Amino acid sequence: MTAGTEIVGYGMAVCNWDAWRSPAEARVLLRSDGTAAVICAIQDIGTGMYTIVAQTVSELTELPFEKIDVRLGDSAFPAAPVAGGSWATASVLPAVAEATRNAIGQLRTFATQNGRLTDGKRAVDHASILNAQRFASAEGFARTGGTPTDKLSCTSFGAHFVEVRWDPGISRLRVARVVSAIDVGRVINPVTARNQVEGAIVMGVGMALFEATEYDGRDGMPGNNNYAEYAVPVHADQPGIDVILLNHPDLEFNEFGACGIGEIGITGLAAAVANAVYHATGKRIRDLPITKEKLMA
């Protein structure tokens, strides 16, 4: 297939990534000023943990986002796993949800211990209940466990479809388009989830066409260990990207049905590029990155 001077190649590859949970702790306070605080040692490395933790508390309490104070990333806070392995969301959100429910349970105790507020005919915000009893807050703590491994295997799945363009006249190879369909259970926040997959696709393009560590033969040290010499994709290298999030909750894995999304976007992407290059050029390159020198050899 051709488009002008370019030969068009199509390739695809499938991917999977183990869904995993680690024990996690969280503390939630419903405060007398009408706000809530969530405290957990999990880190937000730019993937949106602050947002989905606030979402969880908001869903259970009906508080707006601006009244939820999320505090993360301090080793003095309730323990949580590292932000890696695609397990942070699946590990932390169940602990946050249980801690929120425990805080609500304590609030109910405060509200009914004097025999009032039991007719069920009016809604009372938590600040009114706490102030009436002169409590500063209602507090809930929770510690949830790891992966349920006794009966079921929990996994994220996906498929990448790649279009490349090869111009043999000027020896130019580029990835023109990527379509990725990803099943990571329930998608908690579509914006941040899609952003993670898009970023992983860009990293996969770098793995396929640009990135390689070169070692100095004299001492074995990396010779291109800075951005002046290490090639990565830039804006001009970006393909058109379409991410399809299937949003099929896996409720056997956790109450939210959410599996990991951090790594699966890059898994298999370089293989899909290599298959597309083979389709376009007839050359099967098995040593990454796929450079024009290898295609012309």
Highest mean pLDDT among 14-23, 136-145, 171-180: 171-180
Q: Is the pLDDT of residue 137 over 90?
A: no
Does residue 274 or residue 46 have the better pLDDT? 274
Q: Can you spell out the DSSP letters for 196-218?
A: HHHHHHHHHHHHHHT----B-TT
* pLDDT score for 39: 97
* Residue limits of CATH 3.30.365.10 in the chain: 2-19+155-296, 24-144
- How much is the average pLDDT of 221-225? 92
Please tell me which residue in 6, 62, 263, 293 is annotated as part of the active site: 263
Model confidence pLDDT, tens digit, residues 62-98: 999 999 999 999 999 999 998 888 889 999 999 999 9
Q: Let me know if 59 is a catalytic residue.
A: no
Instruction: Give Cα separations from 145 to 43, 75, 156, 254 (angstroms).
Output: 18, 19, 20, 10
CATH code assigned to 24-144:
3.30.365.10
* Dist CA 285 CA 278 (whole Å): 8
pLDDT confidence tier of residue 116, bands split at 50, 70 and 90: low
Q: In the CATH hierarchy, which fold is given to the domain comprising 2-19+155-296?
A: Aldehyde Oxidoreductase; domain 4 (3.30.365)
Under 8 Å between Cβ of 260 and 19:
yes
* pLDDT score for 118: 46
Under 8 Å between Cβ of 10 and 278:
no
Instruction: Give Cα separations from 2 to 7, 164, 294 (angstroms).
Output: 4, 11, 21
Does residue 95 or residue 126 have the better pLDDT? 95
- How much is the average pLDDT of 21-25? 92
